[in-house]
Amino acid sequence: MANPVRKGLSNILKKEANDIVILSSLRTPITRSYKGHLKDAYPEELLATVLRATLDANPNLDPALIQDVGVGVVLSELGGSKAGRMAMNHIRMPTTTSFYTVNRACSSGLSAITNVSHQIATGMINVGIGAGMESMTRNYGSKAIPTVLWPELKKSEVKDARDCIMPMGLTSENVAERYGVNRADQDAFAVASHQKALKAQQEGWFDKEIVPVHTQYQEVDKTGEKVGDVQQVTVTKDDGIRANASIEGMQKLKPAFKENGTSTAGNSSQISDGAAATLLMRRSTATELGLTSSIIGRWAGTQVAGCRPDEMGIGPAIAIPKLLEYTGLKTEDVGLWEINEAFASQAIYCLRELGLEKRLEEGRVNPKGGAIALGHPLGATGARMLAGLLPEMERQGLETGVVSMCIGTGMGMAGLFVRE
């Protein structure tokens, strides 16, 4: 079977029968863990919602033709495999559709989409869903650090082994110190993220990607005591965006991870809850099914690269050049960039290293804000970013886009997508 990953912009833009095309890419709202309106929802509940929305968005596709569902998830018990399969069955997808979960930390959602794309590319399946889910409210008790671990690793003579469980905030401080990213620039970047997200929300730029979640919500006070009765709510908007974000407010925040550090709660990504899903199939399959008019984009390649665990945030600066080489593209061939804002320190470093600062100013990098304003539900983030990339490419009239993120334990991943 011919390789659907082609080299060079002109070749990538050509439509071929073996292309891995996208028919929908949707997400739930992303809300603040412990405080937001999805705090009482279960991750598999959010997955069920976005899978149901995917079926509803593609009414002319027989669900029985969806052969596999891959879901990125980081924190859920048993890797989310049993609860996720239950959620898929709960919405009455056929039991002939198989299910699995993927955990590559912060890139799990993009990994799931890539895995499904590879399955289609090799002929293993014709139609599949790549998704992601996470409830950090329910499952972030250990701060994503293992509680049961072979003692030999904790005292390993290999620093890069020990550093795999270094708190992410300290890796952010390392990036800031080693690569000269100061506090003022981090705070300014964070404020801009909120301002862009606020404008996008006010202008309705998120509307095409978000599906509502009907769930229960229990209000609590600052001490955690319940206030009133459990409410039935419909959640339609991201709630981490701070309309009043300001440089002055950011400057008042104390370092969150290290005395005299520069990373704060304000210039770091929020812990969040949410889910997202992307429906993929081979173009020839879409043609056979009469679904070509439903194609909104296509996957064009993914690359992953490793780096030192104690500066994991530089991952996109390593993975993106590898992706460009793999696909035969130049930086200027990419119209839109979604680079995850795990921390302002690492996002700024990556943009500088990649030469994307002008693109940022032009609204071609995270034009609707990023994880600092929207949140970072670990397993869902990659899929969330794609759900936002495609409609923004349409809005700006752009043909190519890249989704990239750093990955805990020292990696970066980047995926290339084309709009149709």
Residues annotated as part of the active site = 106, 406
Q: Are 419 and 399 in contact (CB under 8 A)?
A: yes
Q: What angle do CA 383, 387, 388 make, to 5 degrees?
A: 120
Alpha-carbon span 342 to 176, nearest angstrom: 13
Between strands 98-102 and 68-72, the pairing is parallel
CA atoms of 336 and 415, how far apart (whole Å)? 12
Q: For residue 269, what is the DSSP state?
A: P
CB 20 within 8 A of CB 280: yes
> H or E stretch including 20?
strand 20-27
The CA distance from 110 to 417, in Å, is 11
* Residues 34 and 123: beta-carbon distance below 8 Å: no
Instruction: Give the start-end residues of each E strand in 292-377.
Output: 297-306, 336-339
Strand partners, 417: 299, 401
Cα gap 362→381, rounded to integer Å:
24
Provide the strand spans (E) within 294-364.
297-306, 336-339
